Amino acid sequence: MLVGEVERALDAESSDLLHHYHEAKRISGAVNQPSDELHQLRLRALEKAGAQIDFAILEATGRQPAGTQTATFNFYAPIGVVQAGAGSTVTVQQQIDSMGRDTILRALEVVQEALPAASGLATVDRAQLDEVIVEVRSELAKPEPNTLRVRGALTGIATTIQTLGAAAPAYVLLKGALALLGVHLP
Amino acid sequence: MLPSAVVDTARRAVRVAMDEQRESLAREVADIYRHATVAGALHSGRLLVAVKDRLASEYKIRAMMAWEIWARLGNAGHRTNGRPTPDARGRS
């Protein structure tokens, strides 16, 4: 939601930038400039804000003390509902946007890098982890990834590596990626 | 989902902040034109580079501004059970 709101604010409130750009192009006589130049500037700004939001989510999930029942939720992707209380059920339609996808892919990359150093991991677990990571990557490559499948796989990966000291940074990143999907791990 | 009162307040705050940014940007771009005119570079690529640099930082300023407003109001809404209170709003 937050990235969407930032994007919405930029698009709704920044037509003056387009005006200034075209005016400067006209006056300077530089008519051959690439037409998507301004779009690139906008994308870079959104990436910067997206990174800040990622950090905020990581900080929020990293500070959450184990065993408590309270949490601060910073929603990144469009989300339909917050569920609270034992036994409550609800149907959620959730999508992974491109920044969420990048965050998950980055987290998976760090997990794979951490695996060779994780001596406490059985060979069979290592092979299964590799297999699941490949599955998540291929799911994310689809135009409309199955969020449920991605969420389930990431949760499985996170619970497998959470006790491995060598994979601690990877676990933090995965925790952040899962927070984007509405799963808050300790 | 954030309460609609928080969403409305955040969007309004973003609009007000962006209005101020627009005015300030217009003044700064006018300064760029003034300097380019004095330097005899009004009809040169230097003018476009200068404006483009300013627009690049303006996009970042606006994106960060919007995010900070949402983060601040989102937290205020959470602390006050989803309802921004007069003390959370500050001076009217």
pLDDT at B82 over 50: no
* Domain with A21 in it: 2-180
pTM of the entire structure? 0.52
Tens of pLDDT, residues A137-152: 988 888 888 888 888 8
What's the one-letter identity of residue A124? V
pLDDT value, residue B31:
95
Distance CA A72, CA A16 (A): 36
Which among A17, A27, A52 has the least Cβ separation from residue B64? A52
pLDDT value, residue A169:
73
In a domain, A185, yes or no: no
Residues in B closer than 8 angstroms to A42, CB to CB, are 59
In a domain, A46, yes or no: yes
pLDDT at B15 over 70: yes
Tens of pLDDT, residues A94-123: 567 776 787 788 888 878 877 777 777 787
Q: How many domains in chain B?
A: 1
Residue with token string 């209170």: B85
Q: How many domains in chain A?
A: 1
Complex prediction ipTM: 0.80
In a domain, B65, yes or no: yes
Contact B60 A48 (CB under 8 A): yes
* C-alpha to C-alpha distances, A183 to A59, A71, A82, A145, B37, nearest whole angstrom: 15, 12, 11, 17, 57
The burial of A77, by beta-carbon neighbours within 10 Å (0-12 exposed, 13-18 middle, 19 or more buried), is given as buried
Tens of pLDDT, residues A20-79: 999 999 999 887 777 788 899 999 999 888 888 877 777 666 554 544 444 455 555 544
